[in-house]
């Protein structure tokens, strides 16, 4: 029996003069460096972190109870106005509730809805997309048909219609948005899966005897993660804005729960006299959505040039 000879070995065995090689930088560290170098990503991540932390520590940060009404204190302007006071830094709304506290607690609503809706729609969309992309043929045709049907629906109108039928609440909004926002997930994962389907490592996995569920979950899914993460962040932003819209129209979160959309709605009759009532939650929404989009874009940029080195 022959042993495996040195002429098939890759290591240099003929001379001791090896080039000084640099210590290889671990993969995660390289990714982290790239992420830290991307200004948009860092900015978005910082803003998002601030908002998330504020939402988490709301009971500690909010100076007042957001539900506490005090009619004698209604519509006090924020601190930068001559009539403002440090007692209510961002003023009060029409029922005398402290605006800053409502803003901080409102962040919770936005973030919960954003995350939950993104997760539910992500689960639905990814499943459909991966199945369509992997199996092709009739499965793909059917799922594409479903996707097209969903795309032809105006999301806001459908959401409104459903909400008015069932009545608005936090739970309803989450379920509704989860059931409506999966289309982008499906489209993106479908094309990503199609590209992977013919990769040789999938063929190798089949040749080893891997079952189809195994291939879908353990071979394909991890490799479409980077595309998926980007879509998750974007759909989160989408869900947050939709919730604000629904609440503004009275069909989302119901009062007295603080929701930024609801706060805008409650202030609309005072829009011209007391603009801060709608400007503050409006700005908060814009900042949150911007931050999420920056993170999503940044993640996509950072992951994009990941190819062969």
Cis omega (within 30 of 0) for bond into 256: yes
DSSP SS3 for 98: strand
Question: Which CB sits closer to another protein, 11 or 72?
Answer: 11
Please report, as residue ranges, which positions from 27 to 66 form the binding site for another protein (by CB under 8 A): 27, 30, 33-34
Distance CA 261, CA 118 (A): 18
Please report, as residue ranges, which positions from 225 to 284 form the binding site for another protein (by CB under 8 A): 225
Among 42, 214, 282, 301, binds another protein (CB under 8 A): 214
DSSP SS3 for 88: strand
Binding status of residue 137 toward another protein by CB under 8 A: no
Other C-beta atoms closer than 10 Å to the C-beta of 216 total: 18
Distance CA 203, CA 106 (A): 50
**Distances 58 to 41, 105, 244, 303 between C-alpha atoms, Å:** 25, 6, 20, 34
Among 141, 151, 166, 204, binds another protein (CB under 8 A): 204
Binding status of residue 213 toward another protein by CB under 8 A: no
| First CA to last CA distance, the chain | 39
Nearest to 169 by CA among 250, 91, 115, 235: 250
Among 75, 205, 287, 290, binds another protein (CB under 8 A): 205
Question: Which CB sits closer to another protein, 154 or 209?
Answer: 209
Please report, as residue ranges, which positions from 98 to 117 form the binding site for another protein (by CB under 8 A): none
Among 79, 210, 229, 249, binds another protein (CB under 8 A): 210
Interface with another protein by CB under 8 A: which residues? 1-15, 17-22, 24-25, 27, 30, 33-34, 199-201, 203-211, 214, 219, 222-223, 225, 308-309
């Amino acid at each position: 029996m022959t042993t495996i000879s040195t002429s098939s070995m890759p290591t240099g065995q003929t001379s001791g003069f090896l080039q000084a090689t640099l210590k290889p930088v671990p993969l995660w560290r390289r990714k982290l460096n790239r992420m830290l170098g991307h200004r948009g990503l860092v900015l978005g991540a910082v803003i998002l972190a601030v908002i998330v932390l504020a939402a988490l520590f709301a009971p500690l940060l909010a100076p007042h109870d957001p539900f506490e009404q005090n009619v004698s204190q209604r519509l006090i302007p924020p601190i930068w106005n001559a009539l403002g006071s440090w007692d209510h830094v961002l003023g009060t709304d029409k029922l005398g509730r402290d605006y800053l506290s409502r803003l901080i607690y409102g962040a919770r609503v936005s973030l919960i809805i954003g995350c939950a809706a993104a997760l539910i729609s992500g689960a639905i969309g990814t499943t459909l997309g991966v199945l369509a992309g992997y199996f092709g043929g009739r499965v793909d045709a059917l799922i594409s048909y479903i996707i097209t049907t969903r795309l032809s629906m105006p999301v806001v109108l459908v959401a409104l219609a459903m909400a008015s039928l069932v009545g608005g609440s936090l739970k309803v909004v989450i379920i509704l948005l989860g059931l409506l926002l999966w289309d982008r997930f499906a489209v993106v994962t479908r094309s990503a899966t199609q590209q992977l389907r013919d990769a040789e490592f999938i063929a190798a996995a089949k040749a080893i005897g891997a079952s189809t569920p195994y291939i879908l979950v353990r071979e394909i899914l991890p490799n479409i993660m980077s595309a998926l993460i980007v879509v998750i962040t974007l759909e989160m932003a989408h869900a947050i804005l939709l919730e604000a819209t629904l609440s503004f129209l009275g069909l989302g979160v119901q009062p007295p729960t603080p929701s930024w959309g609801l706060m805008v709605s409650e202030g609309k009759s005072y829009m011209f006299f007391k603009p801060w009532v709608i400007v503050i939650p409006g700005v908060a929404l814009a900042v949150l959505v911007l931050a999420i989009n920056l993170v999503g874009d940044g993640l996509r940029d950072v992951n994009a040039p990941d190819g062969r080195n």
